[in-house]
């Protein structure tokens, strides 16, 4: 997915995404909800619970632009929910109510969903295929 709505690249390889001259794409999990108006906020809260949203362009051992924390929305209601939950998390961090993250401010970016390119099969469900990760 590209955070930039002006990115006109139609096809990109995994190697291009991972290169230091990444043309503006991030790795994402594309989720389709049956009833988004009922479950989107729950999904966003879950999203913030399984990664550190305070580390910019990094998730665990993975570093680089493509590993940034992003939320992509498809309508104004989703945008409002994502920003609200992000701000609630920032407030909790500021007030010291959450101490499990490395930083003190959420670096997650919120953008309109725009240009999604499906990864090649060998790059999908990586941890399912490699349960011990990179080791």
For residue range 24-65, what is the model confidence (pLDDT) as tens digits?
A: 788 888 899 999 999 999 999 999 998 999 999 888 788 888
pLDDT of residue 24: 77
- Distance from the first to the final alpha carbon of the chain: 27
Task: Express as a percent the part of the chain with pLDDT over 70.
Answer: 89
Greatest Cα pair distance in the chain: 44
CATH of domain 28-114: 3.30.1060.10
Closest CA to 88 of 108, 114, 68: 108
Question: 61: which residues sit within 8 A by CB, 6+ positions away?
Answer: 134
The residue assigned the tokens 């209601």 is: 77
Residue 81 is predicted with a pLDDT of 98
Report pTM.
0.81
Domain borders along the chain are 28-114
Token pair for residue 84? 């609200």
């Amino acid at each position: 997915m590209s955070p930039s709505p002006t990115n006109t690249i139609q096809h990109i390889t995994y190697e291009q995404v991972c290169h230091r001259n990444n043309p503006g794409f991030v790795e994402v999990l594309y989720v389709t909800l049956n009833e988004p108006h009922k479950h989107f906020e729950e999904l966003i809260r879950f999203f913030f619970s399984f990664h550190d949203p305070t580390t910019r362009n990094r998730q665990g051992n993975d570093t680089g632009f493509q590993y940034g924390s992003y939320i992509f929305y498809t309508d104004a209601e989703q945008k409002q929910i994502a920003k609200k939950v992000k701000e609630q998390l920032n407030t909790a961090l500021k007030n010291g109510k959450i101490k499990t993250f490395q930083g003190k401010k959420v670096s997650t970016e919120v953008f309109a969903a725009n240009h999604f390119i499906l990864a090649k099969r060998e790059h999908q469900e990586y941890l399912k295929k490699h349960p011990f990760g990179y080791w």
